[in-house]
């Protein structure tokens, strides 16, 4: 894992990103109860590499980890909030940085009561615009359990392509999980987004994802 250059312009907190209905912002300790509702839901974490949180301490530790790893420039993980209320409804993540190869891995999660209305499509699109814009990344990757049809469907709608299968990669509880690997190049995103195929503000009825990384 490679850290971001010490001269990067991001400062002490994540830059705030704006979609039409969502805002991606710096997570705070006061968000812990919302994060517990998201990551304490076994349906949200069904196909992740760890089980659900059992108490608010797990959510607080997540916030502290996000802040620490951002300071080290190895993780960008935003709280996804409603534009109107600032309520945290999910997270979006860029992690597994390689500055040499200009790539990162995406992750995301959404509160279950918000599934099916395009919230995460808008949030991830906003994050991708940032990754291929100000961050100047060349490639994004994703790691998804092949049974997680919600995550796979959304990623493929955003232009990600399946690139391989890693058998029995994760051991979670009493279960062994495979991984589908997907990739998206900056030029593919720019070409398709320019045609309106993956417009960040497009609101469509769809199921919502919850990939491995919190």
Cα angle 108-109-114, degrees, rounded to a multiple of 5: 130
Chain segment 153-187, per-residue pLDDT in tens: 999 999 999 999 888 777 777 778 788 999 999 99
Q: Phi and psi (nearest 5°) for 82?
A: -70, 135
Q: Does residue 204 register a pLDDT over 70? A: no
Q: In what order do the strands lie in the sheet with 22-25?
A: 17-18, 22-25, 75-82, 88-98, 103-110, 139-144, 175-185, 161-172
Question: Residue 211 — pLDDT band, cuts 50, 70, 90?
Answer: low
Distance of alpha carbon 152 from alpha carbon 170, whole angstroms? 18
pLDDT of residue 94: 97
Q: Would you call 136 exposed, middle or buried from its count of C-beta atoms within 10 A (0-12, 13-18, 19+)? A: exposed
pLDDT in tens, 65-123: 999 999 998 899 999 999 989 999 999 999 998 888 999 999 999 999 999 899 999 99
CATH of 17-194, one of 1.25.40.10, 2.40.30.10, 3.40.630.30, 3.40.190.180: 3.40.630.30
- Range picked from 37-51, 137-151, 157-171 for highest mean pLDDT: 137-151
Report strand pairing: 103-110 vs 139-144: parallel
Asked if 180 contacts 136 with a C-beta cutoff of 8 angstroms, the reply is no
Q: According to the model, what pLDDT value does residue 50 have?
A: 72
Q: Specify the pLDDT at position 214.
A: 39
pLDDT at 10: 76
Q: What is the pTM of this model?
A: 0.84
Query: Pseudo-torsion of CA 134, 107, 17, 20, nearest 10°?
Result: 120
Question: How many CB atoms are located within 10 Å of the residue 153 CB?
Answer: 14
Domain ranges of the chain: 17-194
Q: Is 55's pLDDT higher than 80?
A: yes
- Residue from 25, 35, 127, 157 nearest 90 by CA: 35
Question: How confident is the prediction for the chain on average, in pLDDT?
Answer: 85
């Amino acid at each position: 894992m490679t850290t971001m250059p010490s001269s990067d312009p991001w400062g002490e907190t994540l830059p705030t990103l704006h979609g039409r209905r969502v805002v991606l912002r710096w997570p705070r300790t006061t968000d812990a109860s919302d994060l517990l509702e998201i990551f304490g839901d076994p349906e949200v974490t069904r196909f992740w590499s760890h089980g659900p949180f059992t108490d608010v301490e797990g959510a607080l530790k997540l916030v502290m980890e996000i802040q620490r790893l951002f300071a080290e420039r190895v993780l960008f993980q935003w709280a996804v909030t409603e534009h109107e209320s600032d309520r945290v409804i999910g997270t979006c993540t860029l992690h597994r940085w390689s500055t040499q190869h200009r790539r990162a891995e995406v992750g995301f999660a959404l509160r279950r009561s918000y599934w099916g209305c395009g919230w995460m499509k808008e949030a991830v699109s906003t994050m991708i615009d940032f990754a291929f814009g100000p961050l100047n990344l060349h490639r994004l990757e994703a790691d998804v359990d092949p049974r997680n049809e919600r995550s796979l469907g959304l990623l493929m709608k955003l232009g990600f392509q399946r690139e391989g299968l890693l058998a029995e990669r994760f051991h979670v509880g009493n279960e062994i999980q495979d991984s589908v690997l997907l990739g998206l190049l900056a030029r593919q995103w720019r070409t398709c987004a320019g045609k309106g195929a993956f417009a960040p503000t497009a609101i469509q009825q769809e199921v919502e994802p919850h990939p491995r990384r919190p």
